[in-house]
Amino acid sequence: MHLFYQSEIIAGEATQHLTEDDSRHAVKTLRLRAGDAITVTDGHGNQYAAVIHETDLRRCAFRIKAVHTTLPRPFSIRICVAPTKNLDRIEWFVEKAVEVGIERISFFFGQHSERRVLKLERIEKIAISAMKQSLQSFLPKLDDAVPFGEMLKTIGDGQRFIAHLPPDRPPVNLAKRATEAGQYVVLIGPEGDFADTEIQQALVAGFQVVTLGPNRLRTETAALTACQVLNFINQ
Amino acid sequence: MHLFYQSEIIAGEATQHLTEDDSRHAVKTLRLRAGDAITVTDGHGNQYAAVIHETDLRRCAFRIKAVHTTLPRPFSIRICVAPTKNLDRIEWFVEKAVEVGIERISFFFGQHSERRVLKLERIEKIAISAMKQSLQSFLPKLDDAVPFGEMLKTIGDGQRFIAHLPPDRPPVNLAKRATEAGQYVVLIGPEGDFADTEIQQALVAGFQVVTLGPNRLRTETAALTACQVLNFINQ
């Protein structure tokens, strides 16, 4: 199955167009021709069974034959994570989290963050590619990196967790604290961990301190593990 | 804490030596000096509190002051996986699986495997590095890649699973099939999936067919997800 992504499907329009990237991929790489069947997702839960109408390297036209709509999951996972110093690691997290299932990824810069710049465009491409690869029809929301305090203001209702190993209290695992069918938010700190003031801010905002297992995990491993735990408790 | 790895700790010997890699790291990168405290693990559950005795770029000497022994976990996870075409992907799996906890990784070549060569030396280095990074004292066993049938002969007692989406049966998730405190073996196929004859061989050998969630996962994501599921049901 060839799955393409076009976020702007125009209702009622007979002929639609693939994006420039996907047009090139369809026509040049896959050598699709007029009449060939494709599947297009809008990233909002709809998958369209379609056929290529007119090939064009930049604006390949297709016509929709049927639509299959998936409802959002009865739970949602939002991971707020500090980008890693090494970009590969955070990109890897995005790819894997999208594959296993996530609703939203928010980036933030903490006081101990070494990385202070993150280009969302590349991250978006990775997320789209992972959505296609895993045959899903929802593209997670991605939020540009902002300072920790600003990010905290964007947190809505739901079960709030911060991954941290407090020196003075016995750790409680996320798997024991989170309950089914929740709207989860988990905060994952940078390589240098959260600053004490950040942990205080999170506690004031109603976040519960949790651990993600007995081992010390890298930032990107912790972020993916949180995502996996929340998927599992909802299976 | 500076954690080093020396699999050959000699009982009763007053002075021990770091490996060549670790000697260079200790002396050149970390600039440790005689009298500095280090921690050394043998990868078999022992962590030694030690001090540098004599610095040497190739054979740095240390003396053990105390030993802390960890018992093996009450369950064990063995993942048998076909190496991915792109080596980065399988190396990434090894790093992450060691971080979250795994006892054994066995590689095999399936009928549909594109990759037919795997150098275990590099994989071993990644496993050692991940063990140190996550402050563990057990190094998982790594098995050289062999053909699927040969690998099957090395499977001992335990709960046996093969990750596969059968076209004719409703899928059962690994999380529902595996029970606590088991000796688990999970087979993960190559990018081209298992051949039908391989699935038959596995069924005859008592493997149960399971899925790892609703999405289509890449080989390395499936392998890590299986490892995560089995860790979670034992937490």
Task: Give the pLDDT band (50/70/90) at residue B108.
Answer: very high
pLDDT of A171 > 80? The answer is no
Q: Do A99 and B229 touch (CB under 8 A)?
A: no
- Distance (Å) from the C-alpha of residue A128 to the closest C-alpha of chain B? 15
One-letter amino acid identity for B104? Answer: R
pLDDT of A167 > 80? The answer is no
Q: Do A216 and B135 touch (CB under 8 A)?
A: yes
Q: What is the pLDDT of residues B15-56, one digit of tens each?
A: 999 999 999 999 999 999 999 999 999 999 999 999 999 999
User: Which sign does the torsion angle of CA B28, B34, B36, B42 carry?
Assistant: positive
Q: How many residues does chain A have?
A: 235
CATH of domain B76-232: 3.40.1280.10
pLDDT of A93 > 90? The answer is yes
Give B96's contacts in chain A (Cβ within 8 Å). Answer: 221, 224
Q: Helix, strand or coil for residue B147?
A: strand
pLDDT of B139 > 80? The answer is yes
Sorted by where each begins, the domain ranges of chain A are 3-69, 76-232
Give B134's contacts in chain A (Cβ within 8 Å). Answer: 215-218
Give A215's contacts in chain B (Cβ within 8 Å). Answer: 99-101, 134-136
Strands (E), A82-201: 104-109, 141-147, 159-163, 183-188
Q: What does the alpha-carbon distance between residue B29 and residue B31 come to, in Å, rounded to a whole number?
A: 6
Provide the 10 A C-beta neighbour count for residue A66: 8
Task: Output the average pLDDT for chain B.
Answer: 95
Q: Which of B90, B177, B225 to mutate to test the interface with A (most CBs of A within 10 A)?
A: B225
Nearest by CB to A218, from B133, B216, B217: name it. Answer: B133
pLDDT of B170 > 80? The answer is no
User: Which sign does the torsion angle of CA B140, B143, B149, B150 carry?
Assistant: negative
Q: What does the alpha-carbon distance between residue A71 and residue A50 come to, in Å, rounded to a whole number?
A: 20
Task: Give the pLDDT band (50/70/90) at residue B168.
Answer: confident
Nearest CA in chain B to A226: B228
Which pLDDT score is estimated for B177?
94
Q: Do B221 and A100 touch (CB under 8 A)?
A: yes
ipTM of predicted complex: 0.89
Q: pLDDT higher for B2 or A68?
A: A68
DSSP 3-state percent helix, strand, coil across chain B (nearest 5)? 30, 30, 40
Given the candidates 3.40.50.2300, 3.40.190.150, 3.30.200.20, 2.40.240.20, the CATH classification of the domain at A3-69 is: 2.40.240.20
